[in-house]
Amino acid sequence: MTDLTAQALDALDRLGVKDPFDPAGELSCHSPIDGSELGRLRGNTVQDVATIIGAAHAAFLDWRAVPAPVRGRLVRELGELLREHKAELATLISIEAGKITSESLGEVQEMIDICDLAVGLSRQLHGLTIATERPGHRMMEQWHPLGVVGVISAFNFPAAVWSWNAALAFVAGDAVVWKPSEKTLLTALACQSLAAEAARRVGAPAAITSILIGDHTVGAALVDDARVPLVSATGSTRMGKEVAPRVAARLGRSLLELGGNNAAIVAPSADLDLAVRGIVFSAVGTAGQRCTSLRRVIVHESIHDDLLARLASAYETLPIGSPLEPGTLVGPLIDQQAYEAFGAAVDQAQADGGTLVTGGQRAEVADGYYVHPAIIAMPSQTDIVKAETFAPLLYLLTCRDLDEAIALHNDVSQGLSSSIFTLDAREAELFLSATGSDCGIANVNIGPSGAEIGGAFGGEKDTGGGRESGSDAWKNYMRRTTNTVNYSAELPLAQGVEFA
Ligand code: UN1
Ligand 1 atom nearest 293 alpha carbon: 11
Ligand 1 atom nearest 110 alpha carbon: 10
**90 touches 104 (CB < 8 A):** yes
pTM (2 decimals)?
A: 0.97
Name all contacts of 198-202 with Cβ < 8 Å and 24+ positions apart: 198/74, 198/75, 198/77, 198/78, 198/81, 199/74, 201/77, 202/73, 202/74, 202/77
Read off φ and ψ for residue 338, nearest 5 degrees: -65, -40
CA distance linking residue 377 with residue 355, whole number of Å: 5
Report the separation in Å between the CA atom of 448 and the middle of ligand 1, taken as the mean of its atom positions. Answer: 9
**Domains defined along the chain, listed by start:** 4-258+464-482 (3.40.605.10), 262-444 (3.40.309.10)
Report the separation in Å between the CA atom of 202 and the middle of ligand 1, taken as the mean of its atom positions. Answer: 30
Q: Which of 15, 14, 153, 156 is nearest to 96 (CA)?
A: 156
Report the separation in Å between the CA atom of 97 and the middle of ligand 1, taken as the mean of its atom positions. Answer: 14
Question: Given ligand 1 and candidates 258, 291, 293, 441, which is best to mutate, with the most ligand atoms within 8 Å of its CB?
Answer: 291
**226 touches 49 (CB < 8 A):** no
HEC assignment per residue over the chain: CCHHHHHHHHHHHHCCCCCCCCCCCCEEEECCCCCCEEEEECCCCHHHHHHHHHHHHHHHHHHCCCCHHHHHHHHHHHHHHHHHCHHHHHHHHHHHHCCCHHHHHHHHHHHHHHHHHHHHHCCCCCCCEECCCCCCEEEEEEEEECCEEEEECCCCCCCHHHHHHHHHHHHHCCEEEEECCHHHHHHHHHHHHHHHHHHHHHCCCHHHEEECCCCHHHHHHHHHCCCCCEEEEECCHHHHHHHHHHHHHCCCEEEEECCCCEEEEECCCCCHHHHHHHHHHHHHHHHHCCCCCEEEEEEEHHHHHHHHHHHHHHHHCCCECCCCCCCCCECCECCHHHHHHHHHHHHHHHHCCCEEEECCCEECCCCCEEECCEEEECCCCCHHHHCCCCCCEEEEEEECCHHHHHHHHHCCCEECEEEEECCCHHHHHHHHCCCCCCCCEEEECCCCCCCCCCCEECCEECCCCCCEECCCHHHHHEEEEEEEEECCCCCCCHHHCCCC
**What are 39's strand-pairing partners?**
29
Report the separation in Å between the CA atom of 452 and the middle of ligand 1, taken as the mean of its atom positions. Answer: 9
**What are 420's strand-pairing partners?**
265, 444
Contacts of 312 (CB under 8 A, 6+ apart): 357, 358, 375
Catalytic-labelled residue, pool 257, 388, 427, 468: 257
Ligand 1 atom nearest 154 alpha carbon: 3
CA distance linking residue 126 with residue 95, whole number of Å: 41
Interior angle at CA 146, CA 142 and CA 151, nearest 5: 140
CA distance linking residue 165 with residue 85, whole number of Å: 20
Question: Given ligand 1 and candidates 102, 104, 157, which is best to mutate, with the most ligand atoms within 8 Å of its CB?
Answer: 157
Report the separation in Å between the CA atom of 293 and the middle of ligand 1, taken as the mean of its atom positions. Answer: 8
Ligand 1 atom nearest 441 alpha carbon: 4
Question: Given ligand 1 and candidates 237, 290, 414, 469, which is best to mutate, with the most ligand atoms within 8 Å of its CB?
Answer: 290
Ligand 1 atom nearest 451 alpha carbon: 4
pLDDT digits (tens, 9 = 90+) for 304-324: 999 999 999 999 999 999 999
Q: What is the identity of the amino acid at 277?
A: R
Interior angle at CA 196, CA 190 and CA 199, nearest 5: 145
Query: Residue whose CA is closest, atom 6 of ligand 1?
Result: 450
Report the separation in Å between the CA atom of 479 and the middle of ligand 1, taken as the mean of its atom positions. Answer: 27
CA distance linking residue 11 with residue 5, whole number of Å: 10
In the prediction, which pLDDT does 1 show? 77
Report the separation in Å between the CA atom of 456 and the middle of ligand 1, taken as the mean of its atom positions. Answer: 12
**193 touches 15 (CB < 8 A):** yes
Query: Residue whose CA is closest, atom 3 of ligand 1?
Result: 291
Ligand 1 pocket residues where CB is under 6 Å: 110, 156-157, 161, 234, 290-292, 449-451
Ligand 1 atom nearest 234 alpha carbon: 3
Contacts of 195 (CB under 8 A, 6+ apart): 78, 166, 209
Interior angle at CA 242, CA 237 and CA 246, nearest 5: 140
Report the separation in Å between the CA atom of 319 and the middle of ligand 1, taken as the mean of its atom positions. Answer: 22
CA distance linking residue 500 with residue 495, whole number of Å: 15
Report the separation in Å between the CA atom of 286 and the middle of ligand 1, taken as the mean of its atom positions. Answer: 10
**213 touches 43 (CB < 8 A):** yes
**Residue 257 designated active-site:** yes
| Cβ atoms within 10 Å of 49's Cβ, excluding its own | 24
pLDDT digits (tens, 9 = 90+) for 83-99: 999 999 999 999 999 99
Contacts of 273 (CB under 8 A, 6+ apart): none
Query: Residue whose CA is closest, atom 7 of ligand 1?
Result: 450
In the prediction, which pLDDT does 2 show? 84
Q: Could you say which residues of the chain have pLDDT below 70?
A: none
Instruction: Report, in angstroms and rounded to the nearest whole number, the Rg of the chain calculated over CA atoms.
Output: 24
Ligand 1 atom nearest 290 alpha carbon: 2
Question: Given ligand 1 and candidates 449, 452, 467, 468, which is best to mutate, with the most ligand atoms within 8 Å of its CB?
Answer: 449
Q: For residue 247, what are the CA distances in angstroms to 110, 224, 370?
A: 29, 6, 37
